[in-house]
Amino acid sequence: MNNRELIDKLNSEHALLHEEWGQIFDTWDAYDLQYAARLANCISLERFGRKIYFRGIIEFTNVCKNDCYYCGIRAGNSNCARYRLDEEDILKCCADGYAHGFRTFVLQGGEDPYYTKEKICGIVHRITEEYPDCAVTMSIGELDRDFYQALYDAGARRYLLRHETADAEHYASLHPAGMALESRMRCLKDLKEIGFQTGCGIMVGSPYQTSEHLAKDMEFMTEFQPEMVGLGPFIPHKDTPFRDEPAGSVDKTLLVIALTRILLPDALIPSTTALGTAEAEGRQKGVLAGCNVVMPNLSPMEVRKKYMLYDGKVGTDMSAEAGIRTLRAQMEEIGYEVVVTRGDFTYHGRNQAGE
């Protein structure tokens, strides 16, 4: 079968054989990308209409105990000025976001032991109490099952934890000893079992990534059936061991996005900041290839430049308000309407509120 026939097969069977995924990633061309992106965009339009879900992201700490080779806020980066937002700062970001109409808050940070289970659950509890109509999404890395359960009990309902790669050796080449794919997978399984809407994902074009690895990523997602998938190009950061590695390609990222949409028609797939950083129109292209979420940054202006996961991150020089305005305009330019509701899409285009 040629690649376009394989894409059709994926659309009807929602799975491909390992070799078939491998063939696509080894041999795709611009026409295959266009074919996949159009199909993915049609699937999104059918499920979600011309609507894009906005989620406000609050980057509440850049302190991290991990030393991931790709990440600008890794523990070993002594050039990174560290910050932590306290409970009041975080609640203030939520209040500002709420005033702009946001009904989902994403709390993301490094793996920072300062935020103990009690502390972070207290914050989540306060947000869900003060904003009962809002969803809280967490993205704070690998934790014990008890910790995840406590976050759920405090009211968080979604968790983003990219698997980064489904190949153990590749995982080991991106992370220092002490971090292993096995424990990442344990976390993802725990999160799903607890009842979180769970997000996995990868950086496209991360160092050493092969077609074989991408095939494994697609197979993992076929089996895991994540509710959300985070996909962006790898972008080097000057203070990391991967400073001289090439950035991932935008087109390849769009291909992975499109294939993921065809594989998982109901998934929430953000058009990421990394995609918008790699190319000015990256986020619009992401939407036209199947993404249905964008995540404007609600972090306070003073800390934005300090949450530099990679060089050149867009949006760090503008206020939350300006960032929201820019993203809204970008989406309207391609004919999409921005929606700020919780957007719990699970069944056939209806969210939990029955909208």
CA 162 from centroid of its chain's CA atoms: 7
Which of 162, 170, 184, 342 touches ligand SAH (CB under 6 A)?
162
Three-state DSSP state, 138: strand
Which of 22, 56, 97, 141 touches ligand SAH (CB under 6 A)?
141
Residues between 6 and 65 that touch ligand SAH (CB under 6 A): none
Q: Which whole-number Å values give the CA distances from 6 to 17, 137, 141, 254, 269, in the listed order?
A: 10, 35, 35, 17, 22
Residues in a beta bridge with 57: 106, 297
Which of the stretches 78-86, 92-100, 139-147, 256-264 binds ligand SAH when contact is defined by CB under 6 A?
A: 139-147
Which of 58, 138, 150, 161 touches ligand SAH (CB under 6 A)?
161
Q: How far apart are CA 343 and CA 350, in angstroms?
A: 8
Q: How far apart are CA 150 and CA 212, in angstroms?
A: 37
Residue 114 beta carbon to ligand SAH: minimum distance, rounded to whole angstroms: 14
Closest by Cα among 52, 107, 71, 349 to 232: 71
Residue 124 vs 161, nearer CB to ligand SAH:
161
Site size toward ligand SAH (CB under 6 A) is 19
Q: Which amino acid is at 256?
A: V
Structure tokens at 132: 């009962």
Residues in a beta bridge with 208: none
Q: Applying CB under 6 A, does 274 fall inside the site for ligand SAH?
A: yes
Q: Applying CB under 6 A, does 173 fall inside the site for ligand SAH?
A: no
Which of the stretches 19-27, 104-112, 126-134, 170-178 binds ligand SAH when contact is defined by CB under 6 A?
A: 104-112
Phi-psi region of 291 (alpha: psi -120 to 50; beta: other; left: phi over 0): beta
Residue 62 beta carbon to ligand SAH: minimum distance, rounded to whole angstroms: 10
Which of 310, 315, 328, 343 touches ligand SAH (CB under 6 A)?
310
Residue 19 beta carbon to ligand SAH: minimum distance, rounded to whole angstroms: 27
Residue 164 vs 217, nearer CB to ligand SAH:
164
Within a 10 A sphere around the Cβ of 195, how many other Cβ atoms? 11
Which of the stretches 88-96, 129-137, 156-164, 221-229 binds ligand SAH when contact is defined by CB under 6 A?
A: 156-164
Helix (H) or strand (E) holding 136: strand 135-139
Q: Applying CB under 6 A, does 156 fall inside the site for ligand SAH?
A: no
Q: Which amino acid is at 292?
A: N
Three-state DSSP state, 293: strand
Q: Applying CB under 6 A, does 309 fall inside the site for ligand SAH?
A: yes
Which of 11, 41, 139, 173 touches ligand SAH (CB under 6 A)?
139
Q: Which amino acid is at 138?
A: M
Which of 6, 33, 39, 71 touches ligand SAH (CB under 6 A)?
71
Give the ranges where 49-130 is alpha helix by DSSP (H).
87-99, 117-130
Q: What residue has token string 């991290």?
A: 64
Which of the stretches 9-17, 41-49, 103-111, 115-123 binds ligand SAH when contact is defined by CB under 6 A?
A: 103-111
Q: Applying CB under 6 A, does 80 fall inside the site for ligand SAH?
A: no
Closest by Cα among 135, 60, 123 to 98: 135
Residue 274 vs 340, nearer CB to ligand SAH:
274
Q: DSSP string covering 149-184, please?
A: HHHHHTT--EEE---B-S-HHHHHHHS-TT--HHHH
Residues between 203 and 262 that touch ligand SAH (CB under 6 A): 203, 232, 234-235, 237
Q: Applying CB under 6 A, does 110 fall inside the site for ligand SAH?
A: yes
Relative to beta strand 197-204, strand 158-160 is parallel
Those residues with Cβ within 8 angstroms of residue 215's Cβ, 6 or more apart along the chain or in another chain: 18, 21, 22, 25
Residue 107 vs 121, nearer CB to ligand SAH:
107
Residue 39 vs 276, nearer CB to ligand SAH:
276
Residues that bind ligand SAH in the complex, under the rule CB under 6 A: 70-71, 108, 110-111, 139-141, 161-162, 164, 203, 232, 234-235, 237, 274, 309-310
